[in-house]
Amino acid sequence: MNIKQIPEDFIVTEIIDLNTNPKGDYTYFWLTKKNWTTMRAVQEIAKQCQVSFKRFKFAGIKDRAAITKQAVSAFKVESQVLENVKLKDIKIEIIGKGNAPISLGTLAGNKFEITVRNLPKKFKLKKITKFPNFFGEQRFGYGNTALIGKEIIKGNLELAVKYLLTFSEIKNKEAQKARAFAKKNWGNWKEVLNKFPKFLSLEKAVLEWLTK
């Protein structure tokens, strides 16, 4: 059997209870996305709104290879501005306004719709009463994520940054070329920054800080 063959096979919707107030400073909206990480989607929304990414808060990150719907709060960003955002595979629906930002404690749960494909011919459907909460890629990520986290916990921050900038299991030629250049020219942050492609936004943000 197979799961997550296409984004439509894994649909996640947040269950959240928000206290709205028409006079609040925070605009709440539903962010529905496909093939976007939460961070990247919100970064692009902030860019189109011409405000800082720090104004946006959410209860947790959602899968990239899926269709996900989650609540986001935006500090002093009007609903009309958000509704004018145009991004492929991203939909924004205004919920209302409130007095507080959305945070990790705001979320009550998630609703999942999962499609399983290529079941054996003799497969018998059973009602699931318990669902195991596995701690694998879903929680720790893949590639360099666990390596970075381990070194941060140990206090080896430069090594954590080195894993972030020079190591990944993603087989993208442009990204691999940039990471190889970073490894060879470690410390020459401005030169390294110029070699990193736009889609490696997290890495570029770190390099911009190092350059400064």
Catalytic site positions: 63
Between CA 93 and CA 98 the distance in angstroms is 15
Q: Cβ atoms within 10 A of the Cβ of 72, count?
A: 24
Tokens at 21, concatenated: 């107030």
Q: Give the angle 198-202-206 at the CA atoms, nearest 5°.
A: 105
DSSP letter (8 states) at residue 185: T
Q: Cβ atoms within 10 A of the Cβ of 211, count?
A: 13
Between CA 20 and CA 95 the distance in angstroms is 8
The answer to whether the beta carbons of residues 10 and 78 sit under 8 Å apart is no
Burial class (CB in 10 A: 0-12, 13-18, 19+), 119: exposed
Smallest CA-to-CA distance from 66 within 143, 139, 138 is with 138
Tokens at 65, concatenated: 């290879």
Under DSSP, is residue 75 helix (H, G, I), strand (E, B) or coil? strand
